[in-house]
Amino acid sequence: MGNTLKTVFFMTLLTILFILLGGMLGGRTGMMFAFIFALGMNFFSYWFSDKLVLSMYRAKEVTEAEAPELYSIVRNLAQKGGLPMPKVYIMQNPAPNAFATGRNPKHAAVAVTTGILQLLNREELEGVIGHELAHVHGRDILIGTIAATFAGAIMMLADWARWAMIFGGNRDEEDNPLGAVGAIIAMIIAPIAALLVQMAISRSREYLADQRGAALCGNPLALASALKKISYGVESMPMDAKPATAHMFIMNPLSGRSLMNLFSTHPPVEERIKRLERMAYGG
């Protein structure tokens, strides 16, 4: 299954989970309230995510005179991809990493650490920037926000149902045909299922950004080499990053390897490299 189809499949699955489990845990009224509440929170995040994240990591916007090589790479690849020129930022951080943010291509920003600039050669950096611009082109901030809205609403409903049960609240059998046992099972399963699907969407978008980014820079092996270097760099020097923003980076900044791939926002780096090598050699 292609990565685009996987994203569609997982988004549909998340919607179905919300409707089925949401109806069981909160009924129609609770389901709508949770959805509107989650939508409001994530709408704010979507609209202001660029300013919040860039400020969080103290990223400084740079001009072409201040970072000529980086600026020229971003500009050339943006033009090649038919994208508006994004703002360019540098984070004073020795850990090698990069991310893109912005609610749409017209309001995009690409940020890299000083560590990644020192670690990678020009071709590898082009692969990384291509990957980030692929996220911009694919409107991954929007897709991630929609996924977070549904997942957040499911988790909220599970919390409300748990508190209602603790304080003796009960619901009509018509609303929850499986009764108390079904509600307890749903309270346990719903948040885990929502998180798993949300993480699966994030991983699918990473694979797709690798593929599109490699095609944009024209050198899949350069991106594969960059990922290998970044992985080693992150393992030896994890970044002081917020878990809520880890999915935005090209590599999980908290650790080079995930303890549980199912709950990871990023695919295994070994698999990402293998796919890029197959792409380079026509496999």
* Active-site amino acid positions: 132
Cα-to-chain-centroid distance, residue 143: 9
Using DSSP bridges, classify how beta strands 60-61 and 87-91 pair: parallel, antiparallel or unpaired.
antiparallel
Structure tokens that stand for 251 in this block? 């590599």
CA atoms within 13 A on the CB side of 53: 30
Burial class (CB in 10 A: 0-12, 13-18, 19+), 10: buried
Residue 73 buriedness (CB in 10 A; 0-12 / 13-18 / 19+): buried
Q: What is the C-alpha end-to-end distance of the chain, expressed in Å?
A: 16
Burial of 132 (0-12, 13-18, 19+ CB in 10 A): buried
DSSP-derived letter for residue 61 is E
DSSP helix/strand/coil, 101? strand
Q: Which two tokens stand for residue 178?
A: 């499986």
* CA separation for the pair 62, 34 (Å, rounded): 41
State both tokens at 92.
């004073």
Alpha carbon 226 to its chain's center = 19
Note whether 60 and 229 are within 8 A (CB).
no
State the Cα–Cα distance between residues 6 and 221, nearest whole angstrom: 24
Residues 81, 133 contacting (CB under 8 angstroms): yes
